[in-house]
Structure 1
Amino acid sequence: MTHVTTHILDATAGTPAPGVTVTLARLDGTAVAEGSTDADGRLALGPDRLDDGDYSLTFATGAYFRGRDVPSFHPVVTVAFTVSGEQHLHVPLLLSPFAYSTYRGS
């Protein structure tokens, strides 16, 4: 089955990032699912099976940092990726107020 999970770590605090809103959408803009990270910064999104195609995850990073009174540069972080075949896709986000990194996890 193809489904998407994420884990957000706040690199400046050295802790998971709870309460970050994340939206899963097709690249044509069609929303598929939305949710917020749990206390451990984790979230599973979407149906158990995503159709093949191009998608994005949009992380509401600006709201997360504003809620902590921390100035930041990126109001959102959008990560685009391709679904092909049946697989579990894990998209971690390492976050700081002025930078981020991501990769395809397992």
Structure 2
Amino acid sequence: MKNLLFSLLFTAVATTSYSQNNTYQLSSHILDVSSGTAAIGVPVVLEKYDETTKIWSYVDEKITDKNGRIIDFLNYKETKKGIYKLRFLVADYFKSKKTDSFYPFIEVVFQIKDANHYHVPITLSSYGYATYRGN
């Protein structure tokens, strides 16, 4: 019985701690895989692509928190479908770590097709990165 209660409590805490914010449609996360830690204090710029004019326009800019996360891009009340780009400005992050880096910034382009939540994280090192659609 004690194990069942612990399991239920752990599940509730984990779900509450890491569930996505229902007010915002887009979140991101940076994990520095070279150190196994969150990339704290990285500016991330969000832009939207206008398919008619073929021009990117600024939407918002945030900075990763103590967990390497940004949870509040694109308020659901204002969200529109379309092609978006996150630009992760990692040069100063690596300079602060006194680490040489191949990438001054990383751009990830993706498409929002519906009203679902989108999580666009990157795993990062000074000479490589990967991205995927998270949850």
TM, length-normalised to structure 1: 0.93
> Who is 2:3 aligned against?
none
Structure 1 unaligned regions, length at least 5: none
Asked whether 1:22 is paired with 2:49, we answer no
Structure 2 unaligned regions, length at least 5: 1-22, 50-54
**Contact 1:2/1:85 (CA < 8 Å) preserved in 2?**
no
- Aligned mates of 1:21, 1:98 — CA distance in 2: 19
Given candidates 69, 83, 103, the residue that maps to 2:112 is 83
> Who is 1:11 aligned against?
33
Equivalent residue pairs, number:
106
Q: CA deviation at 1:2?
A: 6.3
> Who is 1:39 aligned against?
66
Q: CA deviation at 1:50?
A: 1.9
- Aligned mates of 2:82, 2:115 — CA distance in 1: 12
Q: Which runs of 4+ in 1 moved over 6 A?
A: none
Question: Which protein is bigger by CA-based radius of gyration?
Answer: 2
